[in-house]
Amino acid sequence: MHADGYFNSLSLGAICGLSILLVLIALSVGNLLGRFSARNGDVGESSIGGTVAATLGLLAFMLAFTFNMAADRFSQRKTLLLDEVNTIATTYLRADLLPPRERDRARKLLAEYVELRDINPKDVPDFDERMARSSAIQRQLWQLVAALSAAGYDGQRLRGFYESLNGLIDAHTARLYIGLRYRIPLPIWEALYAITALAMFGIGFQLGVGRRGSPQVVLSLALAFSVVILLIADLDRSGEGFLVIEQTPMSQLNAELQVDLKKSGR
């Protein structure tokens, strides 16, 4: 398994524990080395204050950069959900441009399609099968368009349907990759953890030189930084954690299409 895949396979709880452990180890090692250096008179507390401040500033920048990257993709996932819902609804309505038999066939497929999409990935064990069936429905709809085109059906009316069908296919691809497969790259996570470790080491070293600090303060600092890192990881993952996109628009569309099919007796 590639390193990216291994990191992304870690649960959010494991990431939180790893973050706390990293901060505690870096603080402890820095504190021990700081006390040792102070006893030997190798360094003064004032000589490292500027370096620690600069490292903390760099850590703050890195945390903000990574958070913004994850938050932007979270916002994109919400937008893509609404775009897909609107595209499916438009395609369903434009099925009226097709002959009656093809119209009914297209609407049945679209109703099944939206039912397949009305899911939360973390709650559905057959997610991959649903995505495969979604792709199969897209091909069936496109074959329907191709058959009508070959039969010489009105090109203008047919264009009105297949343009929205193109949008439906594009929306599927965008949601699949941006929503599920694109993540914060591993080198950025590595840089974030490395800078966090260096910053915590610097704080621990400064506290050790000054012979200050308490276990409560150290633990609070570890938890504070770990919570921020956990929040970034949660934003970066669409199928787990507390920050999950609400599927209400897709659920409402699903319910509406099922009712419409029952009313029309298709």
Q: What is the pTM of this model?
A: 0.78
What range defines the domain where residue 185 resides? 3-264
The token pair at 43 is 């360094």
Say whether pLDDT at 83 is over 80: yes
Residue 167: count other Cβ atoms within 10 Å of its Cβ: 17
C-alpha span between 108 and 101 (Å, rounded): 11
Q: Is the pLDDT of residue 11 over 70?
A: yes
Domains in the chain: how many in total? 1
The span from the first CA to the last CA of the chain, in angstroms, equals: 47
Q: Is the pLDDT of residue 116 over 70?
A: yes
Average pLDDT over residues 200-209: 82
What is the H or E stretch that residue 259 is in? helix 248-264
pLDDT of residue 20: 86
Nearest residue to 122 via CA among 80, 180, 71: 180
Phi-psi region of 101 (alpha: psi -120 to 50; beta: other; left: phi over 0): alpha
| Main-chain phi, psi angles of 110, to 5 degrees | -70, -35
d(CA 172, CA 215): 50
Give the residue with greater pLDDT, 241 vs 206.
206
Q: What is the pLDDT of residue 1?
A: 46
